[in-house]
Structure formats: structure tokens, C-alpha cells
Amino acid sequence: MLENKSIGLVLSGGGVRGMGHIGLIKAMREHNLEANVVAGTSIGALVGALYANNNTVEEMLDFFKKVPLFQYSFFTINKPGFIDTERYASIFKKFFPENTFESLERPLYVVATDLLSGKEKVFNKGQLIKPLLASAALPPVFSPVDIDDILYADGGIMNNFPKEYVEDKTEFIIGSNVSVTVPLQKKDLRNSFQLTGRVTSLMIHASNDEKLHECDLFIEPKELDQIGVLDKKGIENAFNIGYEHGSRALEKMLSKI
């Protein structure tokens, strides 16, 4: 069914839970499926870039294991945000030495938020690393990224599931959403931080949900809710969850053919 169809891959934001995207990619490759076009936000943009760069699954996981989330020397008092996001550029350069969208093996669409105009911005040509950093710059932890005198932050603020950028370019769309929401109990909403996190999660879910269900195949593993967004200890677990869900979804689809 898919041999002669072009495939689009859409990857949401969601922090460390985004390792589930890599699990899905492993399942796709085991079923001899490769995407022709990729679109991603935040962690989805980073995974998407590695995939578009033809990195192996092992190389993708190694990237996230090696990149420090909270490098002491990256903390800043001169920028809005606790960590200077642009300090990660030298680390990214090791994985993307040519630093251009054009050097990738597949077209990639990266979404970031223009904090000045309040609109989303999609990057798909020219320099690669700064748009990737901007797309994953989650406020207030990471500082916005300056590109051409405009400050950009996490793409998930405006569009956490950028399906529209692959719709008119492909015939079959595979989606992976790792920004999951599950029912809570009253004890889980005891303070302002928990309340803010819950409201933000629900807002993102509401904007994602319809687009996700429009995909020809998608995964949305609820088990990822148990993994902290910035908890690097959850990398392997999130990857395995994504792989299991991806394998089941693909096998179910292929069994119907």
C-alpha cells in the first residue's frame, strides 16, 4: 500500500518524551518505511533533523544522551531565561557540520515562535542550527534565540503538531504526539506550578488533537505521561514506549492490507 506513496512524518514537542519519536522511527525502518518529508516542533524538530540527516537510531539516542540539559557554564543572567540556549550551537555543529537545511537528506520544516509578532515561523532553508535551538527553547528555562534581530522561542507555544507543512507534499502522513494528557486527581493540582503545567498541557492537547487524528497513522502513548519533560533518566524508557506503540500501530495497519 505504501510502496509507491510519498510519506510525511510529523513530530510533536514534549521534551524527553520525544525519545518516543525515535522509537517510532526504529519501527518504521524495521518495516522498510522511510518518510520523504519531515515537520517537527521543539524536540520533534531536533529528532526530525537527525532523521532528515540520515542518522541511525543509535546516533539519535547518543545525541540526546550527550547533550547536557543543565550545563552550569550555560546559565545566564544577561538574557531572559535561565540557560543561554545559543551556547548549545557548538555541540550541535558536531552533528550538523554544514549547518544548512539544504545539506539534509530529506526536506525538513521546523516551527518556532516569533515572540515579537506573536506568530509562528517555519524554517526550511538556510542556516539550520539556530532554528533548531529556537524551536526547542522552552521558556522560561531556555533563553530565546536571536535570528535576524528577532527573538524566537519554542514552537510548541503556537503549533505543537505542524502537520500542515507536509499535507500538500505527501500522500500518507504518520504522526507522533508525545505531549500527552491523562486524567488527574485533585491531589495533583495543589499549587500554582502544577496548575500552570496542567493548563498548558490541556491547551496544547486541544490544538493538537484534531490534526493528530487526521493522520493516516499515528501514535500517542499515554505511558509517556510518567516521564518528566526534562528528565534525562527517562530517555531509554520513552524510546522503548515509542517503539512498542509504533510497532503495534504499523503491524495493525499492514495486517489490514
Which domains are seen in the chain, by residue range? 7-255 (3.40.1090.10)
pTM for the whole structure:
0.90
Question: Residues with catalytic annotation?
Answer: 42, 154
Return the higher-pLDDT residue of 181 and 64: 64
Question: Are residues 20 and 242 in contact, defined by beta-carbon separation less than 8 angstroms?
Answer: yes
pLDDT tens profile 147-159: 999 999 999 989 9
Return the higher-pLDDT residue of 232 and 158: 158
Q: What is the pLDDT of residue 140?
A: 80
Return the higher-pLDDT residue of 256 and 44: 44
Going from the C-alpha of 255 to that of each of 12, 166, 241, the distances in angstroms are 27, 26, 21
Q: How far apart are CA 11 and CA 39, in angstroms?
A: 6
pLDDT of residue 70 exceeding 70, the answer is no
pLDDT tens profile 202-219: 767 777 888 999 999 999
pLDDT, the chain, mean = 89
pLDDT tens profile 190-199: 777 567 666 6
